[in-house]
Amino acid sequence: MPGELKTPVVVTPDWLRANLGGVVAADARWYSDGRSGLSAYGARHIEGAIFVDLDGCLSGVPSVEAGRHPLPDAARFAEEMSRLGVADDDIVVAYDDAGGIYEARLVWMLRATGHGAAILDGGLAGWTGPMDSVTPQRSRASFTPVPWPCELLASIEEVASGSRMLVDARNGERYRGDGEDPLDPRAGHIPGAVSIPCRENLQPSGEFLPVDLLRQRFADAGVSDAGELIAYCGSGVTACHDLLAFEWAGLGRGRLFVGSWSQWSNDRRRPIATGADPG
């Protein structure tokens, strides 16, 4: 497993303002309702920030077998980072306007491959520094492809084996299977998974809960060592927020089931559970 990184998981707006010239700010806004993150970026973004597209840069080709947001090939991810002007030794501070639940995918991918990356606490809502509408002209950089570490990933077969604790990062109504799932063919959750909605890692302001409250929240759900668990969500995006929150709370680094519910629910051989209990 990659070693501990010196870059913290979360940085404050004050930290980013003080270091804006020496790090890469990355706008990772994305909307499940079809709105354009790129258009939102073009209207107004943190000064000097690049735009990193979830579908174009952070995901491979979607399929029934692999899910809606599979990881891209390592070489393709490296090419996208190089094209955007992100170098091997750059520190990337990512933000969105949803408390970090989408930017977390970029931060997790970078940290998983040994690169410095952090979430901007509070996201765009907490930023009071300079803003711009101009896309920065960054020179192409050298970003070396690094294989996705198997120690931080879980296959659908490992999930099915029940060998590790499962954490579901989706909202409670999707976990419970209230009505039809708006995005996937079946509603409910993977049997045995506990519900830790990623959005509940946040205060109303969009900032993370204090670390002691995060730790208590996770302890109440039975999580004391993230190294023993697998996290999933709808398509392997917002689960990254739970994984980074575990790391931020000092509980270690868990595994990501990238295919998540979009892969599991499309396989009719896989059982599902509904209701508030793990099942």
Q: For residues 104 and 119, is the Cβ–Cβ distance under 8 A?
A: yes
Mark whether 233 is an active-site residue: yes
> How far is the C-alpha of 109 from the C-alpha of 202, rounded, in Å?
21
> How far is the C-alpha of 128 from the C-alpha of 119, rounded, in Å?
16
Give burial (CB, 10 Å; 0-12/13-18/19+) of 270: middle
Q: Catalytic pick from 57, 198, 233, 240? A: 233
Mind spelling out the 3-state secondary structure of the chain? CCCCCCCCCEECHHHHHHHCCCCEEEECCCCCCCCCHHHHHHHCEECCCEECCHHHHCCCCCECCCECCCCCCHHHHHHHHHHCCCCCCCEEEEECCCCCCCHHHHHHHHHHCCCEEEEECCHHHHCCCCEECCCCCCCCCCCCCCCCCHHHECCHHHHHHCCCEEEECCCHHHHHCCCCCCCCCCCCECCCCEECCHHHHECCCCCECCHHHHHHHHHHCCCCCHHHEEEECCCCCCHHHHHHHHHHCCCCCCEECCCHHHHHCCCCCCCCECCCCCC
Residues tagged active-site: 233
